[in-house]
Structures are given as C-alpha cells and as structure tokens.
Structure 1
Amino acid sequence: MTGTLITVAPTGAESSKADVPALPVTLEELVTTAKECEALGASVVHVHIRDAGARPTLDLGRLRATVAALRGSTDLIVQLSSGGAVTDPEADRLAVLDAGPDMASCTMGTVNFGDDVFMNRWEFVVELHTRMRDRGIVPEYEIFDLGHLTALQRLLDRYGLPAGGHVHVDLVMGVPGGMPGTTEALVACRQVMRDLPEGTTFSATGIGRSTIPVMLASLSTGGHLRVGMEDTITYAKGRPVESNMQLVARAVGFAQLAQRPPLTAAQARSLLGVPVRDRWA
C-alpha cells in the first residue's frame, strides 16, 4: 500500500456540545469541517448527526439533507453511521440506508460500551449487510473485538461479498469493554484478517489516549487511519482538541513520515469500490 486512506469522524454520539464546544453539531458546522478536513487530506467523512438541541438523532430528513450538503460541497466519500447512539432501535438504524450514502458502517457484533451495551444481533448484522449490497452502498465493517473478525468471515462465507466487491474493516480500539488500543492487539487482528478475502484493507481508530499508538501501529502494518472528535477530544494531556482539522493534520503528518501520503477521494473510491456519484445528486 503506497498511500493512506484518512477518514475523519467529526462528531459521534457520545460527547455533548456543552462539554466540547468545538464539536460540530449543526449542518453548517459539519459541512465547514468536512471541507477543511478534505483540504488537508481526508477522503472519507464518517457522519453522526444531531438535532436542533444538539442531541444525537437518526432523523431521516436530517440525514438526507446532510448527505446532499456534503455531496454538494465536497468530493469526500460520505459514510453514515448505522450505529447511531447505543439506545437507537434497529429499525431506525436500518433506515439510515434510505438517505443514500456512499458508505455506511456495519458493526460486526455486540460489545460492552462503557456503562452501556452496544447491541448488534446476528440477524440485524445480516440484514444490514444484505440491504447495503442490494442498494450499492459500500460497508465499513466496524470491529470492536477480535471475535468480530471471525463473525465477519462467517458473514462473508454465508452471504457473499459486499457491494463493490472489496472488504474494508475499521478496528475500533480502546473502547472500555472492547479490545485495547495497543500494538499487540492490532497485530493480533492482522493475524486473524489473513482468513478474510484477499485484498481486504483496514483502518484503525484509537479512542482517547490510544490514538497515537494505534495510528503508528496501523501505518507500520499497512493499515489506514480514522481520526476525529468522535473518538478523541484531548490532543495531549491537559490540552483539549481545538478542531477536527488539528487531528487530521496530525494524521497526515504521520502518513507522510511513513512515506504513505494521503489518498485523494478519487483514489479512495477506487480502493474501496465506491462508485463515483454526481455530487449534486
């Protein structure tokens, strides 16, 4: 791999605007953030949205407006979260696909999520995978623990390859209740991924203080990067993140040091099997 896919996850569903004033929660803030991060080197935007009160929502009208605005203002691959908040019902999470994103997340199993439980029943995972394929939406398989990779192998063996034919996973590391954000855990995942289809690619996300170790481990083992204020709100000890640009710029710097410069959006589409869409559609 000669380049690095950089995904920015600017908002998430966990932090509040009151606690993190720099968090982009309005559509205008999200579009501005996406444009700034694209200019630095991001090629994918992983999207959670908020309602008028800055609370996490899966409102379909807002999701459609968000996809349209991002597509009209950037060339980024628009990836919607089908996870939402841990309290969102399955029907609402499946309806995310009706907003017509380029990609969507597909979490490969249930995991303890801090004090909560992020529920992903097998039947729900299968339904999400097959609906994405039927609609030409490319999944990013979210992996919170080692067993989720085995579940992915089972899914692909039974139900076939995803839309676009390429398998891409995101290792979400350092969540309390999931796998740790360590080099050793990432290497263990790489070993299990040998059983996935040839050409499978991966990104890695380090939550909180694991951000930098995970970035370095991913780059050194041929992986890609996901960064953003969904996952990290402290740039260094005692230093809050000022913007998503700050996190993307650091990831770009690491990628360049690794002699794997950021992929453009067009290159990222080719890598992931994401079709080119009319940005005004």
Structure 2
Amino acid sequence: MFIKAALNGSRSKADHPDIPVTTAELVAAATSAVLAGAGAIHFHVRDHNGKETLEPQFVNEQVKAVKAAVPEIPVGISTGAWIVPDISQRLAYIREWEVLPNFVSVNGHEAGFERIIQAILDKKIGVEAGLNSAQAATNFSSSGLLKECFRLLIEPEEQELTAALATVKAIEDKLTDKQPHQTVVLHGFDSTCWEILKVAKYKGYDLRIGFEDTLLDPSGAIAESNEALVKAAFHWS
C-alpha cells in the first residue's frame, strides 16, 4: 500500500500546534511519517515567518533538509497559484531553484498551469497533475500535458460525500488518455477525508493522508501528528 504523507498544506499552528512549519519541524514530521510507512512526502514550503513561499532561498533550504532526512523517499512540494499569484514571479522563482524536489503538484484549474509544468519539466522535476474537477482534467487533456505527469491527483474539494464522489466519477470519466505508467492518488479533505480514503483503497488507488487533508483521526478526535494519521490510514477500512 502506497501512502503519500501531506504534512502541512496551507494550515498553520492556529489550526493545530503540531503543524510543521519550520525546517526542523518539517524534518521531524517527514522522518516520523516515513517510519510510520509513508512512501512519499509532500509539503508546502514556508519562509521564516511561516508564510507559504516558492522563493528559492526557502525552497532550497527546506527541500535539502527534508531530502537529507529521508534520502530514499521522494519529496515533493506545492506550486499552488495562491502561494505566488503573479505567474511571472512564480516562474522566475522556479527557474532559480537549485535544490530540487523529486516532484511538484500543479493544479489544472489554475490559469497558466501549462507554463508552470513546462518550467518544472525543464528542470527535470516530476509533475503530479492536480485534478479537483472534471474541468481541471479536461484542461490537462486539452493541453497535451497529461501524458507528461507521472502521477494523477484526484482531489475533490466538496465537503458533502455524495457530491465529492460525483466529482471523482466526473474526473475519472475524463481521463481517457491516462497512460499505463501513471499512478493515481485519490484523497479528500476534512469531512470527506476518511470515507474517500476507503474508496481509494477499494479502487486500488494510492493514498494520501496528513494534516493538509485532515486534523482528525478516523474516530473524529484531534489527531496527534502526521505520523499518527499515516498509521491510522494503513488500518482504516
């Protein structure tokens, strides 16, 4: 069973005191998640004030530290448009990265995602296709770039389970050009997280779990850590 640990997302310590933000916290969270069985690490880079960033200084620092802590494990980061809304600045930052993640996620619903993917591919970094809707899947397919992605992230954002599952089905129906080598990760957020994880297991998809996706364990209690969420995911059915 493959599980990617999503350590922090856009959450802050106001959401949970153990959301990893600093480099040391990310290293500790990644290490414990891998010891719990995670096969990949995903996080959102933060600056020294805890703000999400793609600035080379902080990408280099945090990616280097996390990769050194879990050297056999692929490490990825987000390129979400909200982190650096100016696409020209976002592209400039990406081109200046020196310590490279193994992969990044790129969202198909964001304007200019094609340019971001090309900049990432130019640096020989793997691309995950972020698919939160049928339109995002259509955008990827129409661009001709879906085949360049090694992993497809089906990630419905609806908080009502029936609606979220309808989005999953709509995305799947659009993936007619999925390649045999591409893996699929299915995950939900917050109120749908654990039920969608069940669906992912049933469909034979890879899994994602961590504080980015939920603050709660399957019982509904506040989760202690990313490590605890990874352990719970292995046993949840």
- SS of 2:155's partner is strand
Q: Work out whether 1:51 is the aligned partner of 2:47.
A: yes
Number of the residue aligned with 2:235: 253
Please give the alpha-carbon distance, in whole angstroms, between the structure 2 residues aligned to 1:251 and 1:10.
14
CA RMSD of superposed structures (Å):
2.4
Q: Please point out which of 124, 132, 137 is paired with 1:136.
A: 124
Listed as ranges, the gaps of 5+ residues in structure 2 are none
Number of the residue aligned with 1:34: 30
**Alignment CA distance shift 1:93-1:25 (3 Å):** same
Q: Map of 1:139-150 to 2, 5 A cutoff? A: 139-150=127-138
Give the superposition deviation at 1:174: 2.5
Moved over 3 A (4+): 84-88
Give the superposition deviation at 1:138: 0.7
Listed as ranges, the gaps of 5+ residues in structure 1 are 110-119, 258-281
- SS of 1:45's partner is strand
Is the CA contact (8 Å cut-off) linking 2:7 and 2:226 kept in structure 1?
A: yes
Is the CA contact (8 Å cut-off) linking 1:27 and 1:66 kept in structure 2?
A: yes
- SS of 2:60's partner is helix
Query: Structure with the greater relative contact order (CA < 8 A, sep ≥ 6): 1 or 2?
Result: 1
Q: Map of 1:92-171 to 2, 5 A cutoff? A: 92-94=89-91, 95-96=93-94, 98=97, 99-109=99-109, 120-121=110-111, 124-156=112-144, 161-162=147-148, 167-171=150-154
Query: Which residue identity is paired with 1:131?
Result: A
Is the CA contact (8 Å cut-off) linking 2:194 and 2:218 kept in structure 1?
A: no
Larger strand percent: 1
Q: Map of 1:1-281 to 2, 5 A cutoff? A: 4-13=1-10, 15-74=11-70, 75-83=72-80, 85=82, 88-94=85-91, 95-96=93-94, 98=97, 99-109=99-109, 120-121=110-111, 124-156=112-144, 161-162=147-148, 167-175=150-158, 180-182=163-165, 184-236=166-218, 239-254=221-236
Please give the alpha-carbon distance, in whole angstroms, between the structure 1 residues aligned to 2:63 and 2:84.
23
- SS of 2:128's partner is strand
User: Can you list the C-alpha shifts for 1:204-249, whole angstroms capped at 9, x where unaligned?
Assistant: 1210010111111112112111111112112257621211011111
Query: Which residue identity is paired with 1:8?
Result: A
Please give the alpha-carbon distance, in whole angstroms, between the structure 2 residues aligned to 1:216 and 1:236.
11
Give the superposition deviation at 1:78: 1.2
User: Can you list the C-alpha shifts for 1:145-199, whole angstroms capped at 9, x where unaligned?
Assistant: 111111111122xx5842xxx63211112356xx9433x4323332322333344
Identity, % of aligned positions:
23
Please give the alpha-carbon distance, in whole angstroms, between the structure 2 residues aligned to 1:5 and 1:218.
11
**TM-score of the superposed pair, with normalisation by structure 1:** 0.74
Query: Which residue identity is paired with 2:85?
Result: D
Please give the alpha-carbon distance, in whole angstroms, between the structure 1 residues aligned to 2:180 and 2:52.
37
Is the CA contact (8 Å cut-off) linking 1:40 and 1:252 kept in structure 2?
A: no
**Alignment CA distance shift 1:237-1:219 (3 Å):** closer
**TM-score of the superposed pair, with normalisation by structure 2:** 0.87
Which shows bigger deviation, 198-207 or 74-83?
A: 198-207
Please give the alpha-carbon distance, in whole angstroms, between the structure 1 residues aligned to 2:156 and 2:9.
15
Is the CA contact (8 Å cut-off) linking 1:9 and 1:227 kept in structure 2?
A: yes
Please give the alpha-carbon distance, in whole angstroms, between the structure 2 residues aligned to 1:80 and 1:91.
19
Give the superposition deviation at 1:56: 2.2
Number of residue pairs the alignment of both structures matches: 232
